[in-house]
Amino acid sequence: MIQDGAVLIRDGILVEVGPSRRVENLAQARGAIEINAAGRVVMPGFIDAHTHLAFPPAGIHAEDSSAAVRAVHTATRQRLEIRTRAYIDAMARHGTTTAEVKTGCGLDAGAEAKLLRVLGALRDEPLELIPSFLLRLPGGLNGGSLQAIEWVVAELLPKIRRRGVSYFADLAWDCNPALLACFDRYMGAARQLGFGLKIHADGESPGAAVGLGAQHHVASIDHMEHATASLAAQVAQAAIITTLLPSGPFSGDGREAPARALIDAGGAVALGSNFNPHDSPMFSMQTVMALACGRLGMSVEEAICAATINGAHALGCADRVGSLEPGKTADLLVLNAGHYGDLEHSLGTNLVHLTMKRGKFIYKEGEVAPLETNDFAPHR
């Protein structure tokens, strides 16, 4: 932490970071536009390392995933874009500057392609989206699973790769041992095509997922609510990042991932909102961090690392974002807080004063109008 610090930004890139007195006196700082952040915290923008931003869509009144897939087919691409864009804007207001986004329409190529195209159109504006293709095998498909995987490997993945619409191939874990060979085939093929890999391990017995993940050098294993302390040690040993989602228990069964065991064993933990428009519409990384402290026993410093640089590593973009260092993109926040420790208790509040992405403000805190001179009122 730098008390009375400054950053110098040019063309969207951090040029210098250090004590104000030094940075202000640099020749390069002459003529710079000054943004006063006195009394406030300046920190890296949040990296939300796990979201389901566009799927399942809002407004479905059933739990079955076929209804969600149908909703993707029925909605126009424009409508899906407008809805998703509204969530993206809300994320920016709460300080997220980079977010991973998963598909997960099951084995429906049309719906998958449509979602990925929507995410592709929204990829850079105003925050950075990192799309992941999420393979979800529908239940009861056991007999046809290998066949389905062959189709995914031979047709779907290469198509997605050619279009460049997804960086990661993710896998919705199922602990049925009969599926292990299918999953191994999928991960091997995806890796060969150049995808980064992830495992979405929200179910019971994630032990085999960790084994497969280590074998295929996954970028992260996510959820892990059912992991034991000894499995946590194994994950740490394998140097796999775990992306934890402490707001999950609002919609889940109250289980918590063993964050303390993971960190104490030397593992790297990232954080994500696990946002989805259907039944988990919570996108505030500040709330996620407060829950990581309150429920997972993480310190606020650990939560900040998890919500910034570790998240960037989990998304394979730590060379560009995730920390305030010369050479990195100027993705930063100015918080209405005198100390970063305030984030530990920021549950359901928004401390963000300014959000900057690539050196440009994508959000500025608005004023509350005095009632007397209220020009905003529609009827006077």
Judged by beta carbon, residue 104 or residue 258, the one nearer Zn ion is 104
CB of 9 to Zn ion, least distance (A): 34
Judged by beta carbon, residue 274 or residue 329, the one nearer Zn ion is 274
Judged by beta carbon, residue 274 or residue 355, the one nearer Zn ion is 274
> Per-residue x/- marks for Zn ion, 58-87, CB under 5 A?
------------------------------
Minimal CB distance residue for Zn ion: 274
Question: Both tokens of residue 380?
Answer: 């006077």
> Going by C-beta distance under 8 Å and a sequence separation of 6 or more, which residues neighbour residue 148?
107, 137, 141, 182
- DSSP 3-state of 223: strand
State the burial class of residue 323 (Cβ atoms within 10 Å of its Cβ: 0-12, 13-18, 19+).
Answer: middle
CB of 155 to Zn ion, least distance (A): 25
CB of 172 to Zn ion, least distance (A): 8
Judged by beta carbon, residue 53 or residue 262, the one nearer Zn ion is 53
CB of 21 to Zn ion, least distance (A): 45
Judged by beta carbon, residue 52 or residue 114, the one nearer Zn ion is 52
Judged by CB under 5 A, how many residues of this single chain contact Zn ion? Answer: 1
Apex CA 160: angle with CA 159 and CA 165, to 5°? 145
Question: Both tokens of residue 13?
Answer: 């890139």
CB of 272 to Zn ion, least distance (A): 8
Q: Which of residues 109-148 bind Zn ion (CB under 5 A)?
A: none
41: alpha, beta or left, given left = phi > 0 and alpha = psi -120 to 50?
beta
Judged by beta carbon, residue 219 or residue 351, the one nearer Zn ion is 219
Contact 333, 95 (CB under 8 A): yes
CB of 354 to Zn ion, least distance (A): 29
> Per-residue x/- marks for Zn ion, 262-291, CB under 5 A?
------------x-----------------
| CA–CA distance, 147 with 144 (Å, rounded to integer) | 5
Q: How far is CA 320 from CA 97, 149, 164, 276, 327, in A?
A: 12, 34, 19, 26, 8
Positions touching Zn ion (CB under 5 A) are 274
